Chain A
Amino acid sequence: MVLNERMIDTCTHWVQDADLSVLSQTMAQCCKNIKETVQLLASRHKDIHGSVSKVGKAIDRNFDAEVSAVVAETVWDSPERQKYLSETIVEHLYRQGMLSVAEDLCQESGVVIDMSMKQPFLELNRILEALRMQDLRPALEWAVTNRQRLLDLNSTLEFKLHRLYFISLLNGGITNQLEALQYARHFQPFASQHQRDIQILMGSLVYLRHGIENSPYRSLLETNQWADICNSFTRDACALLGLSVESPLSVSFASGCMALPVLMNIKQVIEQRQCSGVWTHKDELPIEIDLGKKCWYHSVFACPILRQQTSESNPPMKLICGHVISRDALNKLTNAGKLKCPYCPMEQNPSDAKQIFF
């Protein structure tokens, strides 16, 4: 196209003093070229249409457009519930250390968070930030302040922090030898519980001159110890504060990512087989979702006879032989005042069964 423009410009200049018929022919040729080129441009662009629409079709084919059918859509529509949701998100943001985002959300949503609730997270994040920069002092201060409670929890955090500080001194080489030796005094209160560890640490001083990385003690210099100390600290601090280690919102969301495909699947199966009556339990999901053992936060007893979860109105009962069934099952199996255990020959009086609590 540029070429054509230039050609035309040149032609325009020549018009003044050249053979008109030759020019006419040249220009006619230009015109033909122009027409061809622009038609080519238009048709080439049009050809892209196929690819573009293929993208759209691929998206429609490989992703589910409608997911809301597996939940009750309007159940959280009230302003009150929206507020709880915003509260949850604010707490989550504080946990993650995203303080200014949390403040913005409080402002925009009108949620008010008590300072007493914020405070623990602010402090946790401050200490974690320092730990990530390999600065152990805030953590040590905290551990010393909470020494008794940590000991009650059987936590070894304070020792671990001292140990890591000692190791960081070792990293500095022979010049730190005196400082390391002096710091070793901090190990004294832990002498009985961590004797072996202390022996190893002190032993490594021998190799300080020649470099510990070449000695049998090189494992002391492993870098993942820093990530580990962050995890240890988070775990112990949360246990002390009665908080869960992970943000409840993160866990719930991750659990949802696992649950959604399963629910979508069962919904499709139900629709295909046209037995929509199956998902009637509005109080219970239609299918079990395996989240892994780490998500077993509460005991669940499913009565093997009636294949149902026990509840407060239908609690688990222990028979004399030690087998456990639900109360409804017990009533069903009682015949003329006598109850025979479904698993063993033991017979008993139904009233001898005892309610148990998991």
Chain B
Amino acid sequence: MAVQETAAQLSMALKVQEYPTLKVPYETLNKRFRAAQKNIDRETSHVTMVVAELEKTLSSFPVVDSVVSLLDGVVEKLSALKRKAAESIQAEDESAKLCKRRIEHLKEHSSDQPAGVNVWKKKRMDRMMVEHLLRCGYYNTAVKLARQSGIEDLVNIEMFLTAKEVEESLERQETATCLAWCHDNKSRLRKMKVMSHTLRIRLNCHSTSYIKIFKLMLKHIFIVEMRTIMNHVSHRHARKHFSQAEGGQLDEVRQVMGMLAFPSDTHISPYKDLLDPARWKMLIQQFRYDNYRLHQLGNNSVFTITLQAGLSAIKTPQCYKEDSTSINPDCPVCSKSLNKLAQPLPMAHCANSRLVCKISGEVMNENNPPMMLPNGYVYGYNSLLSIRQDDKVICPRTKEVFNFSQAEKVYIM
């Protein structure tokens, strides 16, 4: 392997790369814990209530029939509590086990056996690639790769598949799935404040019910009646969905309400913009951004960031020389696609010289001193020895022929 990472270096890489690996299942665990607590509290209070009623009845001249019916009630509430608690706790348990499996996997980076470490490193790269592919939207590839590599548990596939469903429904210009997602995550979205409500409001703008009502009204009803009816409808819908609008968002709400007065194919902006199909694309972007933030993920995959850092660390000016004599087939940055990708990236920083012989790839130092041929090209002494024939050498890069004795030593400090 060209790059040898020590155990300490692997640990350091964990710290900067594995936040998403653990945070996403943790957030699920947290969410399920809260849901379980809520369910348990709710059912517990139901039980306590019916039991209190029973106690009251018992303490004051109980009648057999009423006691029996109250007892039935208690049994029913207890069963409900048992069932719901069991379900919620099982879901929590699954989440906790998933967190544990991932942590166990991460610990394997410090295994004693080199073969084990190599397997872990390969899985690491596959994990990051799968998440990158999921972000790009290449779901089939990602799932297949995860399966073949045996890392299905270790990557956040569900999160991205859920997002995929929402995005696909938005592409079909349907808002129901996205609104359901907002509702499902409303407590966390609320913590993130601003964006969430904007998202909901924009969604509601696009609610097809508005458009349908419009078209109907305009076709069949006189203006006066239309206004009355629209007022009626819009007030109800508005009250229901826009009641939580705050401050600056009210402006958007007003804009949307204003839209009610215009036909659906209006040419007047900003109303035209509000109905533009491109808004759906913006919604998808907005959703994606909010989804990443919700799970505390950045906008770029860890894979992309790692690759950029890695290419920069290898990149030298020689990878981009006009003539192709400097290309080294082993250098990743010299390979076709990576060469184009690495072009806008910063180069490696080298404070000290390091020289390698173009012929053998051997390091040139006091054991293999660099020798300059009369044409200015430098090679290692050992390599010149190996290509020497009849006391002559042919420069591999210019094909000029020189005497071996013409090579001069150069001194690198």
Question: A: which residues have CB within 8 A of B?
Answer: 1, 4-5, 8-9, 11-12, 15-16, 20, 24, 27-28, 31, 34-35, 38-39, 41-42, 45-46, 48-49, 52-53, 55-56, 59, 62-68, 70-73, 75-76, 81-82, 84-89, 91, 93, 98, 100-101, 104-105, 107-109, 242-246, 248-261, 263-264, 281-289, 291-302, 304, 307, 309, 311-312, 318, 321-324, 343, 354-358
User: Does residue B328 face the partner (Cβ distance < 8 Å to A)?
Assistant: yes
Pairwise interchain contact A84-B313, C-beta atoms closer than 8 A = no
Residues of chain A lying within 8 A (CB to CB) of residue B302: 67
> Min CB distance, B366 to chain A, in Å?
14
Pairwise interchain contact A259-B16, C-beta atoms closer than 8 A = no
Query: A24-B62, A253-B125, A261-B15 known; A297 and B140 CB under 8 Å?
Result: no
Residues of chain B lying within 8 A (CB to CB) of residue A291: 2-3, 313-314
Instruction: Return the contact of A343 from the options B15, B300, B408, B413 (Cβ within 8 A).
Output: B413
Instruction: Return the contact of B309 from the options A11, A98, A259, A358 (Cβ within 8 A).
Output: A259
Residues of chain A lying within 8 A (CB to CB) of residue B347: 283-285, 309
A-B contact pairs, 28 of them (CB 8 A): A38-B44, A45-B36, A53-B30, A59-B19, A59-B26, A63-B15, A63-B16, A64-B15, A65-B23, A73-B299, A104-B144, A109-B138, A244-B329, A244-B332, A248-B338, A253-B303, A259-B312, A260-B309, A284-B346, A292-B2, A294-B3, A295-B2, A297-B334, A298-B328, A299-B318, A301-B355, A343-B411, A355-B376
Pairwise interchain contact B16-A261, C-beta atoms closer than 8 A = yes
> Min CB distance, A85 to chain B, in Å?
6
Query: A28-B59, A41-B85 known; A68 and B346 CB under 8 Å?
Result: no
Pairwise interchain contact B310-A252, C-beta atoms closer than 8 A = yes
> Min CB distance, A317 to chain B, in Å?
10
Pairwise interchain contact A298-B313, C-beta atoms closer than 8 A = no
Pairwise interchain contact B332-A249, C-beta atoms closer than 8 A = yes
Complex-state Cα separation, A344 to B71, whole angstroms: 105
For the complex with contacts A46-B37, A104-B138, A301-B353, 5 further pairs of A-B residues with Cβ separation under 8 Å are A68-B305, A98-B148, A254-B121, A296-B354, A309-B350
Give the interface SS of chain A, mostly helix, strand, loop or mixed: helix
Interface size on B, residues (CB 8 A): 126
Q: Scan residues 105-150 of chain B and give those whose CB is less than 8 A from a CB of chain A.
A: 121, 124-125, 128-129, 133, 136-141, 144-145, 148
Query: A38-B47, A68-B300 known; A258 and B313 CB under 8 Å?
Result: yes
Instruction: Return the contact of A91 from the options B4, B18, B30, B337 (Cβ within 8 A).
Output: B337
Pairwise interchain contact B330-A67, C-beta atoms closer than 8 A = no
User: Does residue B282 face the partner (Cβ distance < 8 Å to A)?
Assistant: no
Query: A12-B68, A34-B78, A244-B335 known; A261 and B350 CB under 8 Å?
Result: no
Complex-state Cα separation, A55 to B125, whole angstroms: 25
> Min CB distance, B140 to chain A, in Å?
5
Question: Which residue of chain A lies nearest to B302 when distances are taken between CB atoms in the complex?
Answer: A67
Query: A67-B17, A68-B298 known; A307 and B331 CB under 8 Å?
Result: no
Instruction: Return the contact of B16 from the options A67, A248, A297 (Cβ within 8 A).
Output: A67
Pairwise interchain contact B331-A75, C-beta atoms closer than 8 A = no
Q: Scan residues 324-348 of chain B and give those whose CB is less than 8 A from a CB of chain A.
A: 326, 328-335, 337-338, 340-341, 344-348
Selecting from B48-56, B177-185, B217-225, the interface stretch reads B48-56
Residues of chain B lying within 8 A (CB to CB) of residue A260: 13, 16-17, 305-306, 309
Pairwise interchain contact A101-B4, C-beta atoms closer than 8 A = no
Complex-state Cα separation, A324 to B306, whole angstroms: 36
Pairwise interchain contact A286-B349, C-beta atoms closer than 8 A = yes
Query: A252-B314, A309-B350 known; A323 and B411 CB under 8 Å?
Result: yes
> Min CB distance, B279 to chain A, in Å?
21
Pairwise interchain contact B351-A302, C-beta atoms closer than 8 A = yes
Instruction: Return the contact of A285 from the options B141, B299, B312 (Cβ within 8 A).
Output: B312
Complex-state Cα separation, A341 to B353, whole angstroms: 19
Query: A28-B55, A244-B335, A324-B411 known; A295 and B351 CB under 8 Å?
Result: no
Instruction: Return the contact of B44 from the options A16, A41, A258 (Cβ within 8 A).
Output: A41
Pairwise interchain contact B145-A88, C-beta atoms closer than 8 A = no
Pairwise interchain contact B13-A65, C-beta atoms closer than 8 A = no
Question: Which residue of chain A lies nearest to B375 when distances are taken between CB atoms in the complex?
Answer: A357
Most buried by A among B2, B74, B79, B306: B2
Instruction: Return the contact of A297 from the options B136, B139, B331 (Cβ within 8 A).
Output: B331
Pairwise interchain contact A20-B62, C-beta atoms closer than 8 A = yes
Residues of chain B lying within 8 A (CB to CB) of residue A254: 1-3, 5, 121, 125, 310
User: Does residue B154 face the partner (Cβ distance < 8 Å to A)?
Assistant: no
Complex-state Cα separation, A20 to B376, whole angstroms: 114
Pairwise interchain contact B317-A358, C-beta atoms closer than 8 A = no
Pairwise interchain contact A76-B304, C-beta atoms closer than 8 A = yes
User: Does residue B289 face the partner (Cβ distance < 8 Å to A)?
Assistant: no
> Min CB distance, B169 to chain A, in Å?
20
Which 3 pairs between the two chains have the least Cβ-Cβ distance? A256-B310, A297-B331, A248-B332
Complex-state Cα separation, A347 to B148, whole angstroms: 67
Residues of chain A lying within 8 A (CB to CB) of residue B363: 293, 296
User: Does residue B226 face the partner (Cβ distance < 8 Å to A)?
Assistant: no
Question: Which residue of chain B lies nearest to A344 when distances are taken between CB atoms in the complex?
Answer: B411
Pairwise interchain contact B313-A246, C-beta atoms closer than 8 A = no
Q: Scan residues 21-52 of chain B and give those whose CB is less than 8 A from a CB of chain A.
A: 22-23, 26, 29-30, 33, 36-37, 40-41, 44, 47-48, 51
User: Does residue B12 face the partner (Cβ distance < 8 Å to A)?
Assistant: yes
Pairwise interchain contact B345-A75, C-beta atoms closer than 8 A = yes
User: Does residue B82 face the partner (Cβ distance < 8 Å to A)?
Assistant: yes
Instruction: Return the contact of A261 from the options B12, B125, B340, B397 (Cβ within 8 A).
Output: B12
Question: Which residue of chain A lies nearest to B143 when distances are taken between CB atoms in the complex?
Answer: A104
> Min CB distance, A133 to chain B, in Å?
19
Residues of chain A lying within 8 A (CB to CB) of residue B296: 65
